[in-house]
Amino acid sequence: MSDAPPALVRLKGVRKAFANGTLALDGLDLAIGQHEFLSILGPSGCGKSTALRLISGLIQPNGGAINWPGGNLTNAVGEIGFVFQEPTLMPWASVSDNVRLPLKLKAVLRAEADRRVAEALAMVGLSGFDRAFPRELSGGMKMRVSIARALVTRPRLLLMDEPFAALDEITRLKLNNDLLELWRTQNWTVVFVTHSVFESVYLSQRVAVMAARPGRIVREIAVDAPYPRDEMFRTSEPYNRVCRDASAALHEAMAA
Amino acid sequence: MIAQRIARVIAPLIVGVLALGAWEAVVRLNGIPVYILPAPSVVAVTLITDRAVLFPSLLVTLQITCMALAAAVTGGVLLAVLFAQSSWIERSFYPYAVILQVTPIVAISPLILIYVENPYLALLICAWIVAFFPILSNTTLGLSSADHNLVDLFRLYGATRWQALCYLRLPGSMPYFLGGLRIAGGLSLIGAVVAEFAAGTAGAGSGLAYRILESGYRLNIPRMFAALVLISLTGIAIYLVLSLVQHLILRRWHESAIKREG
C-alpha cells in the first residue's frame, strides 16, 4: 500500500459490541482510498451495515481507531451521503422536498437550494418528477430519489447500504450503470455494501470480503478491469474469473 | 361506479326511512299520547316551533364542544411533544393521564362544579378531560413511530432536536393525531353533555342537555326528543367534518386515504 494514494479513511482493529452483548465487529482493518469505488461483500448479518454506520459517524467504535488522514469528514455536515437499503423517503413530502431535506437542515438559501435540487434530480434522471409524491413512484424511482438526496450536498464520500437489494434485476442493472457513470463524472469515493458477488465485481475497483461473528475483513480482491464497464464486461472472461475468485472467498468467509 | 356510490348512500337512508315510518305507524295506530312517545312528525314540528329555545341551546353546546376540542388538541399535542422529549417525563406523567381518563367524568364533574365557580369554565374543563386523552395517546405513539433510518439521516445531516420535531416527528405523527382527533371530536360533545347533566338545573347552563332535563321535569317529551335529535346531528356533523379534514390532509400520501382499484 506504500505507493497507493493517501487513504480517505482508515479503519484499524475496529471493534464494535452492542449493549445486548453481540460482538458485531472485531479487528476490522480497512483502508478506503480517495475517489475509490470499494465494495464490502459479505453474508447477511456479518456486520457490513455496522461498518458503514461506523464510517458515517452515526455510531462510535468500542475499540480500534478510525483515522481520516485528509481531515475528518464526519465533522462537517454534508460531506458524507448515506443511501439505505430502503429508499427511506418522507411519504408526506414531494420528491423535491425530500431531496431538499439536507439543504433545509443546513439552512441553505432557497434559490441556491432550488438550483441544487434540480441539478441532483437531473443527475438521477428524475427531472419533471419534482412534484410527485413517493408513493406514486416505482421502487427504482424511489431509490433514485434517495440517491439524489444523498448527492444534493455534493458529498465527498457516498456510503451505500445494499441500496439495490430490493429491486428487480432489470432495474438493478440500470441503476448499477447509472451509478458508475455518476461516480466517473463526479469526484466521490463510494463504499458500496452488498451481498451480491456479481454486483460487487461489476461496480468496484476493489472488493473487501467480510466474515461474520465477529465481523472482519478476510480478503481484499482487486478488480483491475478499466472503466467504463458495460454489458460486454459482464460476460467477459476477466469478469467471470474475478467473480469465481470473490465467490470462493465468500464461501470461505461463511465457513470460517 | 356512480350507481354503486348512490346505492351506498341510499341503502342506509332506506333503513332510516323505514324505521321512522314504523315508529310513526305504531304511535298512530295505537293512539299513544305524546307525553309517552311522540311520533317523529311531532318531534320534527317541535324542532321548528321551539326553535327560539332550542337553537340558542344548540349554540351553547356547540361552543363548549368546539372550545373543549380546541383545548384538547392544544393540551394533548403539547403534552405529547413534552413526553417525546424524554422517556422519564413520559413515565412520570403518563399514568396520571391514564387515571384522568379511566375515572368516569360523571364522578369528577360534581367536584369540578364545586371548585370552579364559573359554570361555563367548569363544563369546559369536564369536556376537555374526556377529549384530550385520545389525542395525547395517539400523538405520543405517532411521535415515537418515526422511521429509524430517517432519524439516522437527520442525525447525519446535523439536525437539531427542534428540526427533527418539526420536519420529521410531527408530520409523521399526523395520521395518528388525526385518528385521535376524530375520537376526541365525539368525546368532547359527550363530555359537554355529561357535564351539563351533572351540573343539572342548578347550573346556569342553557345548553341542549339542560333543555332535556328541563323538558323532562315539565313532561315536554317532544322537546326532549327534539333536543336529543340536535345532539345526535351535532355529533354526526363533527364526525363528518373531522373525517373530511383527515382526508384532505392525508390524501396525497397516506395509505388510509388512497383509493385502490378492484
Q: Which residue has the higher pLDDT, B205 or A24?
A: A24
Cβ-defined contact of A91 to B254 (cutoff 8 Å): yes
Cβ-defined contact of B253 to A91 (cutoff 8 Å): yes
Q: What is the pLDDT of residue B101?
A: 86
Look up the ipTM and state it.
0.90
Q: Which of A84, A134, A135 sits opposite B149 (nearest CB)?
A: A84
Give the Cα separation of A68 and A74 in Å (integer): 9
Q: What is the dihedral of CA A211, A217, A222, A226, to 10 degrees?
A: 90
Q: What is the pLDDT of residue B227?
A: 95
Kindly state whether residue A225 falls inside one of the protein's structural domains. yes
How crowded is residue B110: how many other Cβ atoms within 10 Å of its Cβ? 13
How crowded is residue B166: how many other Cβ atoms within 10 Å of its Cβ? 12
Indicate whether B237 and B174 sit together in one domain.
Answer: yes
Indicate whether A16 and A143 sit together in one domain.
Answer: no
Average pLDDT over residues B20-43: 94
Task: Decide if pLDDT at B62 tops 70.
Answer: yes
Task: Decide if pLDDT at B261 tops 80.
Answer: no
The percentage of chain B sitting over the pLDDT mark of 70, rounded to a whole number, equals 96
Kindly state whether residue A97 falls inside one of the protein's structural domains. yes
Kindly state whether residue A189 falls inside one of the protein's structural domains. yes
Indicate whether B86 and B28 sit together in one domain.
Answer: no
Indicate whether A217 and A101 sit together in one domain.
Answer: no
Kindly state whether residue A84 falls inside one of the protein's structural domains. no
Average pLDDT over residues B24-33: 94
Kindly state whether residue A2 falls inside one of the protein's structural domains. no
Instruction: Give the residue numbers spanning the domain of A160.
Output: 7-79+155-255
Q: Which residues pair with A39 in a beta bridge?
A: A192, A207
Cβ-defined contact of A134 to B253 (cutoff 8 Å): yes
pLDDT less than 70: residues of chain A: 1-5
Kindly state whether residue B262 falls inside one of the protein's structural domains. no
Please name the residues in contact with A245: beta carbons below 8 A apart, sequence gap of 6 or more: A221
Q: What is the pLDDT of residue A232?
A: 87
Confidence of residue B259 (pLDDT cuts 50, 70, 90): low
A-proximal residues of B, 164-193, CB under 8 Å: 167-168, 171-172, 174
Indicate whether A74 and A166 sit together in one domain.
Answer: yes
Q: What is the CATH number of the domain that holds B109?
A: 1.10.3720.10
How crowded is residue B117: how many other Cβ atoms within 10 Å of its Cβ? 8
- Whole-structure pTM value: 0.86
Indicate whether B132 and B118 sit together in one domain.
Answer: yes
**For residues A208 and A41, is the Cβ–Cβ distance under 8 A?**
yes
Cβ-defined contact of A92 to B172 (cutoff 8 Å): yes
Residue of B nearest to A84 (CA): B149
Q: What is the DSSP letter of A61?
A: -
Instruction: Give the residue numbers spanning the domain of B226.
Output: 37-257
Indicate whether A188 and A231 sit together in one domain.
Answer: yes
* All cell numbers assigned to A45: 448479518
Angle between helices B119-143 and B87-102 (to 10 degrees): 130
Indicate the residue among A154, A184, A201 that finishes a domain. A154
Task: Decide if pLDDT at B135 tops 50.
Answer: yes
Indicate whether A206 and A159 sit together in one domain.
Answer: yes
Contacts of B152 in chain A (CB under 8 A): 53, 58, 82
Task: Decide if pLDDT at B258 tops 80.
Answer: no
Task: Decide if pLDDT at B250 tops 60.
Answer: yes
Distances in whole angstroms, Cα of residue A184 to Cα of each of A181, A228, A231: 5, 8, 17
Please name the residues in contact with A136: beta carbons below 8 A apart, sequence gap of 6 or more: none
Indicate whether B12 and B44 sit together in one domain.
Answer: no
Indicate whether A14 and A68 sit together in one domain.
Answer: yes
SS3 sequence, B169-203?
Answer: HHHHHHHHHHHHHHHHHHHHHHHHHHHHHHHHHHC
Give the Cα separation of A48 and B73 in Å (integer): 44
Number of domains in chain B: 2
Kindly state whether residue A1 falls inside one of the protein's structural domains. no
Distances in whole angstroms, Cα of residue A80 to Cα of each of A24, A138, B65: 23, 26, 51
**Residue type (1 letter), A225:** A
The percentage of chain B sitting over the pLDDT mark of 90, rounded to a whole number, equals 66
Q: What is the pLDDT of residue B242?
A: 94
Containing B67, the helix (H) or strand (E) segment is helix B51-85
Q: What is the pLDDT of residue B2?
A: 80
How crowded is residue A103: how many other Cβ atoms within 10 Å of its Cβ? 22
Kindly state whether residue A68 falls inside one of the protein's structural domains. yes
Task: Decide if pLDDT at B194 tops 80.
Answer: yes
**Residue type (1 letter), B212:** I
Task: Decide if pLDDT at B203 tops 70.
Answer: no
Indicate whether B143 and B15 sit together in one domain.
Answer: no
Indicate whether B14 and B131 sit together in one domain.
Answer: no
Q: What is the CATH number of the domain that holds A67?
A: 3.40.50.300
Cβ-defined contact of A134 to B171 (cutoff 8 Å): no
Q: What is the pLDDT of residue B141?
A: 93
* All cell numbers assigned to B196: 351539563
Q: What is the pLDDT of residue A1?
A: 42
Kindly state whether residue A85 falls inside one of the protein's structural domains. no
